[in-house]
Structure 1
Amino acid sequence: MEHLQCLIIGAGPAGFTAAIYAARANLNPVMYVGSQPGGQLTITRDVENYPGFPDGVLGPEMMELFEKQAKRFNADIRNGIVTDVDFSSHPHEITIDNIKNISADSIIIATGASAKWLGLPSETRLNGSGVSACAVCDGFFYRGQDVAIVGAGDTACEEALYLSKLCNHVHMLIRRDEMRASKIMQKRVINTPNITVHWHAEAEEVIGEQIVTGVRVKDNLNEETYVLAVQGFFVAIGHHPNAKVFSQYLDTDDQGYIITQPDSTKTNIPGVFACGDVQDKHFRQAVTAAGSGCMAALEAERFLTTVEAHVSSAD
């Protein structure tokens, strides 16, 4: 069985940042990139809010630069998906692709979270060309334009309010006659002049060939459809953390996000750390994910130093 000092699971901004820091600390990190190498940024076109890129950068290009930097410090980046774990003893054991078994003294989980989508073929086709699951990330590109947003919770309300400060008009599509959001968030949305709430409204199709030009909406009361002319279509129906394989051993909240100690990336299992969107359901930004990846690597280094000192003293 191959044994590692530091294993990093996931290859988004958090994972690559952890790899850079761990490699520079001579931890010889091995990263398994998972099913979506590069994470959510690989399906994001323009990134304009990450420091150091004054002219912006394409999401896939940015992740290529992250990978090159990690490889520069000899991080070992491999293809493969973690299919099973055993955190019951130390070193921890991990299975890759149901075939390869490895053990590791420290593990950094950076598997991220995936946006929930409506499942429309047009939504998939125009993803990154007017369709987005992050208003904070992409709202800037639609300033002065009309947009639609789907969702009825606090997150949807927050994103609608954010968009209202940038866009000419925001159409909020609600499937029923009520929102799930808190009363105060509902009141803010309804009292915002350039937000129109469409009750009993369900998106049937995102319209456009190369870019979004509108959305076909079904009125669930009378079964009629109508078209809203919009240039952006935002989906805000939630995310699901990619943490299921770890849930037997790690503490998670009611939504499945890994719980870490305050101001830390430490989980309830010593030597196992979680960073990025798999443990952050509030910000979900590349820059915050990268920051927590740095924290995880530094904490893994300190943990390994402690373990080595303990072993040395026992000898």
Structure 2
Amino acid sequence: MIEGFRLKGISDAPELQVLIFLLVLLIYLLDVGVNLTMLLLVCLDVHLHTPMYFFLSNLAIIDISSSTTALHRIFIMIATQNHTVSKLACMTQLCFFCMLTSCEFSILAAMSYDRYVAICRPLHYHTIMSRRLCGLLASVTWIFGCLELFPTALFTSRFTCYISNEIDHYFCDVLPIRDITCSDTSNLDFYILIVANLNMTISLFLTVTPYVFIIASILRISSSAGRSKAFYTCSSHIMVVVMFYFSIVFQYILTVSGINMGSNKMFSLLNTAVIPMLNPIIYSLKNKDVKSALRRKQMKLNSLIKFILLGNKLLQF
């Protein structure tokens, strides 16, 4: 019975530790910065109080939480040279990461439905996407995510025998922990194979199906300008969905098929660091509403700064 684990980290090479620390820290700060900016912008600008940005705010919260959950151990390991983590802390990190991943599946499906209503039923958009429905979809997202905590915690807490206490990863993830246990993993393997994959498949189906109708509706638009505008409306979400599912497939599905752990770490970094940073950037760079909101807030901030400077001059006088 072991009391804790030793995380191997991204690399064993001592000469790379400072570089890894700085690169991951930079990506993490950008991740938190751009997502917090998006959150504050949605909260402060009434023009962004729409279903699309409500779901985008939920996605930003999930991305910040997921990155913090997965990456914080890297900073601790490199800064303190302490790679050990208690079993309780390890299992807590594992469960919360699984929960947040499940939440992202659901919120992307909700955002897909929102785009379907906006493009295919624009005249009824505000009636269908009411505050009540948006709140319900967001609640279901977080409830489904929380439900993911229990089976993951149940199966991994039953592992009592380990061939090693070293986890070949930079955070406590389910597959690296499964690889070092000598306990019976049949229940966990069954859960991953059936329930987790089924959850991902259903979420992918619910995310992709609306786009089948969206594309069919767009192709029926007679003018090329109208088709371009419609594609522009949903292209950001499509990019986010493709990146997220691409990283999940390579991180988990292909890992089970025999891909090496070094590659798994790279796909994990893509999923836990790079994609959360890119999500709000993709939406903000391609969205005129966000650009306009940024300009409005910048103008207000500049006016506030000028007012403060003027007050300071008057006080000095």
**TM-score, normalised to structure 2's length?**
0.33
More helix by percentage: 2
**TM-score, normalised to structure 1's length?**
0.33
More strand by percentage: 1
The structure showing larger relative contact order (alpha-carbon pairs under 8 Å, at least 6 residues apart) is 2
